[in-house]
Amino acid sequence: MAKTSIVSGFYKLPLKERLAIIKDFAGLTDEEIRLLENTGSLPFDVADHMVENVIGVFPEPLGVGVNFLINGKDYLIPMATEEPSVIAAAGYAAKMVRDGGGFHTSSTAPVMIGQIQIVGIKDAKAAKKQVLDAKAVIIKKANDQDQVLNSFGGGAKDMDAKILDTSLGQMLIVELYVDCRDAMGANAVNTMAEAVAPQLEQLTGGHVYLRIISNLATKRLAKAWCTVPKESLGGEAVVDGIAYASAFAEADPYRAATHNKGALNGIIAVVLATGNDHRAIEAGAHAYAALKGRYTSISKWTKNKNGDLDGVIELPMAVGLIGGAVKTHPIARIAMKILNVKSANEFGEVLAAVGLAQNLAALRALSSEGIQRGHMSLHARNIAVTAGAKDAMIDLVAAQMVKERKVRVDRAKEILDELCKKQ
């Protein structure tokens, strides 16, 4: 029987029961469950090999977004984030989207762009022609660097060159287009860019400085779309509110930055949980949002002819199933197993769907009751802890602040004092 990601009241279950559900859904082993339960699961020697100057590890909460149905397949979404309400909101939005048939997705081939910067060229036009005439030789040199990638059907597939007018004069920028298959690809592409540089210097008589991947991965895009029934959202007025919010973000970069941040709240949580490079995704998303010369939103919501809500998101998605920290971090490996994606493309599409869900949840709240009620009631426990509450006192102090609609540290301290006196 196909497994479902619908788990109502997941947040109310004790940890053991939550883990039993995940174990069953993802086929986790007892050892993997033990690692999840142990909040210090990144051993020093592993961490010490990952980065430099290690003095400890920095744990973040890991949760799962429930209810996701993407292209007819159920997913539980592992999410690592320090921000309350993100994971709950993702599951809430996924449930509404599910009412309309779930998310649909598509993506381009996993092609990344490697840039080689050539300066000091006398005739840029002639140099460009020389480089393009030698395309086959340069691509072969690039592909000599990574037999493993070639064996998976990846590798440098094409190349182009552009003349750039800059404050320091003209430069020739050569771009390698590399199919990275299931890798994010930065190391693979950078190696190729460095390998072809001497040949490019010879051909052009110029000097190569930079040889590096571009995070504006316009050839590696993921797209997700959905239709949400108006009844699931709470009526046509909410649909109108979300459409107006979307138009606002499309027209105003100040709003677009926050609109996009809302979508990235979900995407980055998954990217982080899986040991992928979240800076690459952030950089790509924002640069893509500004590609047409003015920063705008990466998603769009409109009312369709039935009065329901249509949503779509598209952004660069440079993520991998191998490489980087994906296979070294023990919890990232488990997160990947929970996610159960078979290719980097499927992974990117799931991330786009998560971004769309997160964006929807934020816009629904913003265009109706505002985000503060839900957000602050989940944040209240953090405030209670900041005020010094421990154990059972945390929930008591938080509940009282939410009841009073005064979620503040000073009020938390007063409530805590009052409760302590009563004991």
Catalytic residues: 83, 261, 277, 375
Q: Mark 155-190 as b/e (b = at least 16 C-beta within 10 Å).
A: bbeebebeeeeeeeebbbbbbbbbbbbbbbbbebbe
Residue of 149, 264, 289, 412 interacting with ligand NAD (CB under 6 A) = 149
Binders of ligand NAD among residues 255 to 314 (CB under 6 A) are: 277, 280
Contacts of 219 (CB under 8 A, 6+ apart): 108, 109, 111, 112, 113, 177
One-letter amino acid at 401 equals: M
Burial class from Cβ neighbours inside 10 Å (0-12, 13-18, 19+) for residue 244 reads middle
Does residue 143 touch ligand NAD according to CB under 6 A? no
One-letter amino acid at 402 equals: V
Pair of tokens at residue 56: 């400890």
Does residue 185 touch ligand NAD according to CB under 6 A? yes
Distances (CA, A) of 316 to 53, 195, 298: 32, 26, 10
Does residue 324 touch ligand NAD according to CB under 6 A? yes
Residues 195-224, one symbol each (x = binds ligand NAD by CB under 6 A, - = not), give ------------------x-x---------
Distance CA 263, CA 273 (A): 16
Residue of 155, 320, 330, 355 interacting with ligand NAD (CB under 6 A) = 320
Tell me the residue number closest to ligand NAD, measured at CB.
323
Interface with ligand NAD by CB under 6 A: which range of 22-30, 97-105, 142-150, 226-234? 142-150
Binders of ligand NAD among residues 92 to 111 (CB under 6 A) are: none
Distance CA 328, CA 243 (A): 43
Does residue 184 touch ligand NAD according to CB under 6 A? yes
Contacts of 342 (CB under 8 A, 6+ apart): none
Nearer to ligand NAD, 266 or 284 (CB): 284
Interface with ligand NAD by CB under 6 A: which range of 19-27, 54-62, 179-187, 353-361? 179-187
Residue of 170, 187, 227, 328 interacting with ligand NAD (CB under 6 A) = 187
Q: Which residues bind ligand NAD (CB under 6 A)?
A: 146, 148-149, 152, 154, 180-188, 190, 213, 215, 277, 280, 320, 322-324
